[in-house]
Structure 1
Amino acid sequence: MLKFFAVIFFGLLPCLASADVSVRDDSGSVVRLARPAQRIITLAPHLVETVFAAGAGSQLVGTVEYSSFPEEVKKVPRVGGYSRLDLEAVVALKPDLVIAWQSGNSPAHVEKLRQLGLPIYISQPNRIEDIASEIERIGVLAGTTKIASSAAKSFLTRLTGLQTRYGGRPTVRTFYQVWHQPLKTIGRTQIISNVIRMCGGENVFGNLDVMAPEVTVEAVLAANPEVIIASGMGEARPEWLDEWKLRTGLIAAQRQNLFFIPPDLIQRHTPRLLDGAEQLCRHLETARTKRPSGAAR
C-alpha cells in the first residue's frame, strides 16, 4: 500500500511543478502562466523594487534605465527606457513574464509584446494599499508566495500605523510640485495624493483627474497652500523649490513650509513609498506647529 501511494505521489510531482498560476492585473485582465515565471522583465524602475520585495529578484533577467534599487539590480541587463523600449532586446531575453507600467510605458509597445506572445502583467497601483496587493500578485506569478505574503503583511502593518497616527490630524492644504518648467503637479488619482490624504493633508489640485497636470504659478498663488513639497530629479533639494520664497503672499513662503522629499521615496510605487510617506507626514506636522495660535491653517 505504501509503495502504491509513493508511486501516485511521485507521479504527480511533474504535474504539481507545472501547475498553472493566474492573477488579475491592474487593468482587470487575467494573467495566466503555465508555471511560475523564471525569467521576468520589468519595464519601469519602480517595478524592480516590487519584484525584489516579492522574493523574485533572482528571476529578473531584464529591466530599464534608472532602475537603481536594490543594489543587485545594477547588474541586470537594460532593455531601453520605460518610455523608449528596445523591443528586440526584450524578446531576445526570452522572458516568461513582462511586467509593464500602465501610465508610463507606450501602449503600442506593450501591445506589440503581447502580439509576440509574451505574457504581460499591467501595473498601476493608485492607492497605497495597492502596493501590498501587487507584491502578493507578483509573488503568485513568480512562485514566491510565502515571501511575498510576508512582505505584503509587513507593509500593511506599517501603513496602518501611519494612518492611525496622522489620519485624524487637522487638515493642511498642500501643493506637491513635480517639476518647475513646465510647472507640474499631481491630480486626484496619483498615488501621492493618497499619501497626502493619509497624512491629514489636502492636495490643492486634488480636483483634477489628470495624473500629472500642468498648472500655472497664478493657480498656485490662488490656491495659497500652507505647504509646498517638491522632489525634483535626484537626492539633492532642487534649487527651484526656494523660488517660492519670493512669493511673499503665500502662506507656505511666509511660514517657511517649503519641504523636499527624495523622489525615489515618494514618486515610485514601491514599498519604500512608506519611507516617503513618513517624511511627508512629518512635514505636515511641522507646518501645524507653525500655525499662529487659534489659526485653522
Structure 2
Amino acid sequence: MKSLVAALLAFLALAANAVTVTDDRGVAVTLREPPKRIVTLLPSLAETVCALGACDRLAGVDDYANYPEQVRRLPHVGGLDDAQIESIVALKPDVVLLSNTARALNRLQALGVPVLGFDLKTLADAKRAFGKIGQLLELRGADAAWQRIEAGVDAAARSLPPSVRGTTVYFEVSAGPYAASESSHIGELLARLGAANIVPGRLGSVPLLNPEFVVRADPQVVMVSDRDAQALLARPGWSRIRALREGRVCRFTTQQGDVIVRPGPRLAEAAQLLADCLAGRLKGGR
C-alpha cells in the first residue's frame, strides 16, 4: 500500500511540473518539466530564449546564431537544411526549437527528441513565438517584452518626418533577387513606418522576382546588403531605377542585416534602421 501511495505521489509531482505547449503545426508537446537544455535551429529563436532571460538553458544553436555574445560560444549544429542530427542528439536536449518546415523536424521526432515547430514570417508570428517560448520556459515577461518591442517600433515611426510617408521601397533580402513583400515582417515594419512596399503580399513572404518587375515599379528607395549593392547597376535596366539614379540606396552591413531579417526580439532596432534609411541618416548606409 505504501509503495502504491508513493508511486501516486511521484506521479502527481511529475504531473504538477509538466508543461504542454502547442506549436505552430498544431501539435501539442508535453515535457515532464520546463526544459533545462534547449537547442534552437533559427537565430531568432535563440535570441528570443535569451531575451526572456534563459540564455543559460541553451545547449546548442544553428550555424548562423551570433547574438547575444554568449551564443557564439555554444556548439553550432548546422542550419535549416543541413542540421547535424547526431550532434543535436549528443547534446541531450530536452527540446529543440526550429522552423516547422525544417528537414530536421521529422528526423528528430522519430528519434524521440521533443520538437516545437514555429512559422516565423510576420510580426504576429514573432509575437506568438514569444508567448509560446515564455510558456514553455514558465517564465513571466513575454508580454512585457513584446510591449517594449511595439513601443520601439512606434518610436521609430515617430522619428520620421511626414514627408517620408508614402515613399516607395524595394527591400532585397538576397540576390536572386529575393525581396521582402508586404506580407513579411519586414514589409509590415515598413508599413508601420508609412513606406509603400513595391512587392505585394500576394506573391508570398519573400518571393523570387523577375528583375524587370523592380525596374517597372521604379522604387524611390532601394534597401540591400552591402555585399550585394555593387551588383545592382550591372542588372539589365536597373540603371534606370529612380533610387539608383538619385543615390537613394541603403547598404546594410551584415550585422544590420541580421537585425532586420530576423523576426525576434530586435524588431524595434530593425524598425529604427529602416527609419534611418528612409530619412537618409543611416550610418555608413547611403
Which of the five TM-score ranges fits, normalised by the shorter chain? 0.7 to 0.9
Q: CA deviation at 1:232?
A: 5.3
Q: Report the equivalent of 2:5.
A: none
Q: CA deviation at 1:50?
A: 0.9
CA contact (8 A) 2:52 2:142 kept: yes
Structure 2 residues not aligned, in runs of 5+:
1-8, 282-286
Distance 1:157 1:129, change over 3 A: farther
Q: Report the equivalent of 1:85.
A: 83
AA partner of residue 146 (structure 1)? R
CA contact (8 A) 1:242 1:258 kept: no
Q: Report the equivalent of 2:60.
A: 62
Q: Report the equivalent of 2:192.
A: 198
Rounded to whole Å, the distance in 2 between the matches of 1:199 and 1:240 is 28
Distance 1:65 1:248, change over 3 A: closer
Q: Deviations over 1:76-130 (max 9, x none)?
A: 1122223201111111111111101235x22xx2111112222211122332244
CA contact (8 A) 2:19 2:34 kept: yes
Q: Report the equivalent of 1:254.
A: 245
Distance 1:55 1:17, change over 3 A: farther
Task: Kindly indicate whether residue 146 of structure 2 is the aligned counterpart of residue 152 of structure 1.
Answer: yes
Q: CA deviation at 1:242?
A: 6.2
Task: Kindly indicate whether residue 35 of structure 2 is the aligned counterpart of residue 44 of structure 1.
Answer: no
Distance 1:218 1:153, change over 3 A: closer
Q: Deviations over 1:161-208 (max 9, x none)?
A: 44566698631211111223x222123432211112111122211244
Task: Kindly indicate whether residue 185 of structure 2 is the aligned counterpart of residue 170 of structure 1.
Answer: no
- How many aligned positions are there? 268
1:226 aligned to which of 220, 230, 233: 220
Distance 1:54 1:188, change over 3 A: same
Q: CA deviation at 1:27?
A: 2.9
CA RMSD of aligned residues (A): 3.0
Structure 1 residues not aligned, in runs of 5+:
1-10, 288-297
Q: Report the equivalent of 1:281.
A: 275
What is the DSSP-based 3-state SS (H/G/I as helix, E as strand, rest coil) of the residue aligned with 1:146? coil
Q: Which moved more, 1:21-30 or 1:91-100?
A: 21-30
Q: CA deviation at 1:17?
A: 8.8
TM-score normalised by the chain length of structure 1: 0.79
What is the DSSP-based 3-state SS (H/G/I as helix, E as strand, rest coil) of the residue aligned with 2:244? helix
What is the DSSP-based 3-state SS (H/G/I as helix, E as strand, rest coil) of the residue aligned with 1:176? strand
Rounded to whole Å, the distance in 2 between the matches of 1:242 and 1:68 is 31
AA partner of residue 250 (structure 2)? F
TM-score normalised by the chain length of structure 2: 0.81
Percent identical pairs in the alignment equals 27
Distance 1:193 1:27, change over 3 A: farther
